[in-house]
Structures are given as structure tokens and as C-alpha cells.
Amino acid sequence: MKKIAVLLSGSGVFDGSEIHESVLSMLALSKLGVDYQCFAPNILQMHVVNHLTGEVESLQSRNVLVESARIARGEIKATEELELDEFDALIIPGGFGAAKNLCNFATNGSDCVIAPEVASFIGQFADSCKPVGFICIAPVMIPLLYGEGVIGTIGNDSETAQAFNLMGGKHQAAVVQDIIVDEINKVVSTPAYMLAANIAEASVGIEKLVKKVVEMIG
């Protein structure tokens, strides 16, 4: 039976994983009969955002793994616990946590770096030529992981696309329902809430991405 890892970055669009994207990814996997396991790095979030007001709660701190456990219903492992041989592919939902906790694109743009725990985790899938799906803003990590010429999308935001290209990638514009596939690197990306106006729109591209990632498993 196929098994896919899902990498989370907290809980909540403004400082963690986008909850709709995360749940839609897991739902799509379940509908295809594919088993999955959630992971997250055991690190502190960049900051905590009050999702009611949008304000940063400067006196609070939260752990990415602990917060991600909310979405995973407690069934989650730290990235360092990965046993690569048990998994066929990886899917990474978006949300600002992908750009604040998994890497620091939110503050550093094209000069960003990926958190060491995260680079090691995703790198194992990349080095083993196992398919990886990147959703929403998560694709900004693709050029740093796969190198010059790798193909991906964050939708059609020109500034983010330019940063993607500056990091060595080849950005392809996409609408919300699209997936962009790099067959050579086995990378799939979709804009989701970079463009989606509602959960139904986000679900279309995410379901396509999950289906394609599963199809790419050898």
C-alpha cells in the first residue's frame, strides 16, 4: 500500500499551515485510498499571529510540531523521525508557516534559507527521486531544494514569481485550478489559496496535485 508524508508548518494561515489546504490534502489522499503520516519540525514558530485581529502576539511563542498536531489530531511525528523507506512521496500544504517556519521567505525573499531540519527532511525525498507536491506558497522552496532550472508555480503574483526565478527556478504562471509538473524532478505545484477565492476553488488544484503525486510513484 502506498504511503505519503504530509509536512505541516503549524496551525493557521497567518503563522502556520493553511488549515483548509492541509485538510483537503489529507481528504484527497484518503479518497484515493492512500495512507499518510503527518510530520512537522520540532522548532519554534517565527511568531504567533492572532487570527481574529491579524495582529502579532509578541509575548507569545508556540512550537511548530505542537501546533501542527492540532491539524493531525495528534497523529504526528517530528521531521527527525522520518524513515524514508516507509514513504513513497511527500506533500507540503501552504500557509504563511511554509514561508515563516519551514523557511524564511516571508522576511528574506529570494535570499531565504530553509530551516535545517526541513531541508534535511524534504531533501531525502528529493535525493531519492520520490515525488513531492508543493501547495500555495510552499513552492518558493523548490529552487533551493532542486537547483537550477526546476519548474514550479505560485500562481501569477509577479513579485513572488520573480523571486522564484532569482533563486534559480523557472516559474510558470498558473490559474487556481492548474497544476504545474516538473517530470524530471518529480515536483508538482499548485497555487491554491495564492489565488483561490474559497475552499471549493482551492480543492480543485489540490485534488489534481494529490492525484498526480500518487500517479508519479514508481
pLDDT the model gives residue 162: 97
∠ CA 158-163-166 to the nearest 5 degrees? 125
73, 75, 108, 139, 142 from 154: Cα distances, Å: 28, 29, 17, 6, 11
Q: Give the tens place of pLDDT for each residue, 145-154.
A: 999 999 999 9
User: What amino acid positions are annotated as catalytic residues?
Assistant: 136
CATH class of the domain comprising 3-216:
alpha beta
* Residues 124, 15: Cα–Cα separation, whole Å: 25
Give me the residues of the chain with pLDDT under 50, please: none
pLDDT score for 27: 98
pLDDT in tens, 26-39: 999 999 999 999 99
Residues 6 or more apart whose Cβ sits within 8 Å of residue 22: 6, 8, 71, 93, 95
Place of cell 509577479: 158
In the prediction, which pLDDT does 1 show?
A: 85
Q: What tens digit of pLDDT does each residue of 108-123 get?
A: 999 999 999 999 999 9
29 CB-near residues (< 8 Å, 6+ apart): 4, 6, 35, 36, 91, 210, 214
Query: What's residue 122's pLDDT?
Result: 98
Q: What is the dihedral of CA 35, 95, 142, 124, to 10 degrees?
A: -40
Measured between alpha carbons, how far is residue 49 from residues 52, 53, 96, 198, 207 in Å? 9, 8, 11, 21, 29
